[in-house]
A and B are shown apart, each in its own frame.
Chain A
Amino acid sequence: MTIRPATFEPRDLDAIAHHRRSMFRDMGYADERALDAMTAAFRPWLMRKMEAGEYLAWFALAEDGLIAAGLGLWLMDWPPHMVASAPCRGNILNVYTEPPHRRHGMARTLMQTALAWCAAHQIGAVILHASNDGRALYESIGFMPTNEMRLARPLG
């Protein structure tokens, strides 16, 4: 399996935005207009973060060289706390594998790549929000549920 980091190029930005949109759709959000609006709002955010070096991503490539899966690592500002000492925490997001390439361990390899990067850069706490499909993978790596709560309604 070939893994490559994402670069600050339109085609890679498009791939990440496409992964995010597809991920939400696979989680059951069927409102295409809301998905379009979310994607349109996400892309400029992503561009700012990648330009600042605060969003990293890796892709797993299929044998034909096309992107088969992707994973993002956002280095988010986080206040000093008692759990891990670092000026920021890693936030794993936009984990998506194209349907024909599922069950091949691509997400796991991408995750290990991101965690190795975090370890090499002294990032001691990594979070994510798990979909039902992703939970078993994350548990097997050692992720534990937190006590986060949210107040929000899906946008129409």
Chain B
Amino acid sequence: MVLRPATPAGSDLDTIVQHRRAIYAEVGYTDKRALDAMSAAYREWLLPKLQTGEYLAWFALAPDSTIAAGLGLWLMDSPPNLFARGDRRGNIVNVYTEPPHRRQGLARVLAQTALDWCAAQGVDMIVLHATADGRALYESLGFTPTTEMRLIRPLVASSEA
């Protein structure tokens, strides 16, 4: 299996955004306009982070060299805690395998690549949000559930809504 890191130039940015959109679509978000809006906003968020190295990504290539799977590692700011003295956490995001290439271990190799990178760079703590499909893989790599809780407060609609 051939892996390569993503670069800020060229079409890698679009591929990452497309992976993110596909993940949301597969977990049940069907509103195309909302997916479009998210994708456009995400692209804007991602580009400077790819350029500065705050966001890294790797792709697994199919035999024809097209991208079969991808994984992102966002090095996010975080308060020093008892698991990590530094203020950098790894956040694994946008893990996606194109349907014809599933069940071949691509996501596992990508995740291991990201974990190895973190170990080499002294990133002590890595988090992610697991879809139902991804959970078994992450458990097998040693990830355990956290006590995170979330409150979503629908924003007040603008006057023209």
Contact = CB atoms under 8 A, between A and B. Distances in A.
A127 B148 contact: yes
B80 A124 contact: no
Contacts of B130: 147-149
A152 to B, nearest CB: 4
B82 A45 contact: no
B85 interface: yes
Interface stretch (A4-12, A32-40, A57-65, A95-103): A32-40
A123 B141 CA distance: 34
Contacts, number: 160
Nearest to B87: A45
Instruction: Specify the main secondary structure of chain A where it touches its partner.
Output: mixed
A128 B41 CA distance: 24
Contacts of A146: 129, 146, 148-150
B82 A46 contact: no
B150 A122 contact: no
Interface string A79-112: 1111111100000010000000000000000000
16 contacts: A45-B80, A79-B42, A82-B35, A83-B152, A84-B152, A85-B41, A93-B79, A125-B153, A126-B151, A130-B149, A143-B150, A146-B148, A148-B127, A149-B129, A151-B141, A154-B83
Interface of B: 24, 29, 34-35, 37-38, 41-42, 44-46, 74, 76-77, 79-87, 93, 115, 124-131, 135, 138-139, 141-155
